[in-house]
Amino acid sequence: MKFFVSLCAAAAMLTVIAPLPARAGPMGFSGSWMSMGDFSRNWREAFVNYAFTPRDAVGVETAYMRSDDGNRARYLNSLTYTRLLQRWNSRDAQANLWFIGGIGALRLADQAGAAGETRTMLTPGIQFDYETTRLYFQATERLYRARDVNHDYTSVRVGFSFHEAEYEETQPWLILEARRMHDLSEKTEITPMLRLINKNYFIEAGVNNASEPRFNFMYVF
């Protein structure tokens, strides 16, 4: 019951933050809550999930997607499930394969027709990441499907850290991301970002190739 109340509180909190998101990220350690936000002009999302085992997390997610011309907007609120399918730990690296999925209500807000209509949306996806103390790679493919709607999301990220850091220090990284959102944009969005990783927080900020700002964060509590 306590868990359910906490989940509802988190959902309410996200609803208050803004009409936000859709692509989910991974999860924290067993017994932890993870929050994440990804904010840019045309794509905003936030979620909170709870890891109830070392490999499974459930949560809530809210997303806002908009076409480049600003004529079509999508509002998604969903329940999510994240599963660590496989983890590879070596002395100097870690790689992960994740399943990320959600089911929720998608509200369409088009300037021409279908305004305000709500449909059920499914968002299954796969994410792979590989990281050392100096290098980072991530590839994500997530479907965003509802009746007559396909906003599949693809992203690839590569990056490097400027130097190794002690556990107590903040480590700066340069990350370059390329991503596409089907039927919302015909362009590939390229965003270089400065990432700061600390044991307590994870933030990224950058400007994309359309000169639009981008800000991401993750926090585990």
Contacts of 2 (CB under 8 A, 6+ apart): none
Considering only residues 113 to 132 of the shown chain, the ones binding other proteins according to CB under 8 A are 131-132
| C-beta of residue 47 within 8 angstroms of C-beta of residue 21 | yes
State the minimum distance, in angstroms, from the CB of residue 57 to other proteins.
12
By CB under 8 A, the count of residues binding other proteins is 33
Percent of the chain that is helix, strand, coil (3-state, to 5)? 5, 60, 35
Candidates 42, 67, 78, 171; binder of other proteins (CB under 8 A) is 171
Does 147 sit near other proteins (CB under 8 A)?
Answer: no
Residues 191-210, interacting with other proteins (CB under 8 A) = 197-202
Q: Is the separation of the CB atoms in 91 and 114 below 8 Å?
A: no
List the interface residues with other proteins, window 8-47 (CB under 8 A).
Answer: 28-32
Tokens for 75? 């509002």
Q: Residue 196 in contact with residue 219, Cβ under 8 Å?
A: no
187 touches other proteins by CB under 8 A: no
Residues that bind other proteins (CB under 8 A): 28-32, 54, 84, 87-94, 131-133, 164-169, 171, 197-202, 218, 220
